[in-house]
Amino acid sequence: MSDLARLGEARPGEAGLGDKGFGGMGFGDMGFGETIATRLTELAAVSDEAGRLTRLYLGPAHRKAADLVASWMREAGMSARIDAVGNVVGRYRARDSGPLTLMLGSHIDTVRNAGRFDGALGVVIAIEVVKAAFKSGKRFPFAIEVVAFGDEEGVRFASTLGGARALAGTFDLKALDEVGEDGVSRRQALVAFGCDPSRLSEEALSPDRVIGYVEAHIEQGPVLEKDDLPVGVVSAIDGITRGIVEVDGVAGHAGTVPMPMRSDALAAAAEMLIAIENRARSRPNLVATAGKIDVPGGTANTIPGLVRFTLDIRSPSDAERLKAVSDISETIAAIARSRGVTARFSVGHEVPAAHCDDGLSDQLAQAAETCGVTPRRLPSGAGHDAMAFDRIIPFAMLFVRCRGGVSHNPAEFASPGDIDVAACALSTFLDRIA
Ligand SMILES: [Zn+2]
């Protein structure tokens, strides 16, 4: 409840549209920010766990949230349905019976003990922007579909982005047999949710009928806050290389083996970690993380003989990432040689970068400028539903500043003032492309 109180709190530099002189647009007066913040609070109360927000894909809270979101869509002048993969799809019909559709949205599933903005923000902004058009009797020369995706966080099943992939036509039907921790398969969970998994392939969109997909989302990082900007336009979603480095040394007695005679796997790994960090720091948008390190069988009085650590390398440029992977592999080998150990980086998982469409992104940036903000372009280090549409339909993303860059945490926060700017930008974007 203290979070609820915090939502209304203004911080220095977080002024609403009116305070920044955008009153002439009328959006400040329409109170997008406060309305959206209130709805996010309402949605955050729909949880699988008492006292904290956990809304797993196809769980009971997801079902309730889907109904709530569908009711908001209908109130905003849309027809609403739950599709075969559990997405809530709201449709605001076009002015004429033209064939084109613009998709907006984000996701309503969450991690465990989540914040209220990740995903939900993009869904609620889209609904409110359509509602404003509906209330003023405005139609566009294209239909708008607002999609509340259901499987973005990948908490319940092994694969993820099932909702967006079904629309993209790239859903792998084998994923229906994935079984979660509770012993329930994806197929069973879909049926329990009220979906018909046998109709899943019918949800695939026709790329020639879709203008594109535009998603607003909290940044989940600290860059916009550092630059004192309420919104930013995403350039690309980072590609990822993930794997495991295994360092083999020689275990020995901590007291009896003199320092020059050791092959200490952990000390070698430590040198590798610093070298990896330095390599990532040498380029602006390259990041590398060793998030987990194990010393199997390690004890206080044993020289470590074996170390394994995970490695996650990301960049919006695939060439840059692959070069970094190659350099890091060479560095690991060189450090291993110099220390008398052996080491190997085994790549387990690779995803190419997904590039936002220049045309849609420029329109989004110009729309934000109309709302009084010159947004910066920035890559997304986190994955999003939008990446499922890479090379299928054009897509663009608008990031909203979040306090301290904190996400996947109940302390996650975006101010009503910043949300107002994002809603203004999205609404102006619709007018521009119309
Ligand atoms: Zn998200």
Question: What separation in Å is there between the alpha carbon of 363 and the centre of ligand 1?
Answer: 23
**Distance from the alpha carbon of residue 410 to the mean position of ligand 1, in angstroms:** 14
CA 217 – ligand 1 centroid, Å: 7
Which pLDDT does position 98 carry in this prediction?
81
Q: What is the Å distance from ligand 1's center to 14 Cα?
A: 22
Q: Which residues surround ligand 1, an ion (CB under 5 A)?
A: 118-119
Place of tokens 């499987």: 151
Question: Is the pTM higher than 0.85?
Answer: yes
Residues sharing a CB contact under 8 Å with residue 240, sequence separation 6 or more, in sequence order = 312, 313, 314, 321, 349, 350, 351, 383
Residue 142 confidence (pLDDT) above 80:
yes
Angle, CA of 358, 362 and 363, to the nearest 5°: 120
CA-based angle 410:415:418, to the nearest 5? 135
Residues 14-38 have a mean pLDDT of 55
Helix or strand holding residue 39 (H, E): helix 32-44
Q: How far is the CA of 401 from the centre of ligand 1 (A)?
A: 14
Q: pLDDT by residue (tens digit) across 280-302?
A: 999 999 999 999 999 999 999 99
Mean pLDDT of 171-193: 97
| Cβ proximity of 154 and 178 under 8 Å | no
pLDDT digits (tens, 9 = 90+) for 57-90: 999 999 999 999 999 999 999 999 999 999 999 9
Between the CA of 388 and the centroid of ligand 1 the distance, in Å, is 13
Cα 384 to averaged position of ligand 1 atoms, centre (Å):
6
Which residues lie closer than 8 Å to 143 by C-beta, 6 or more apart? 91, 92, 93, 94, 98, 100, 101, 102
Ligand 1 centroid from CA 229, angstroms: 20
| Token pair in block for residue 227 | 């630059």
Q: What is residue 188's three-state secondary structure?
A: helix
pLDDT digit string, tens, across residues 297-341: 999 999 999 999 999 999 999 999 999 999 999 999 999 999 999
The helix, strand and coil proportions of the chain, stated in percent and rounded to the nearest 5, come to: 40, 25, 35
**What's the pLDDT tens digit per position in 333-386?**
999 999 999 999 999 999 999 999 999 999 999 999 999 999 999 999 999 999
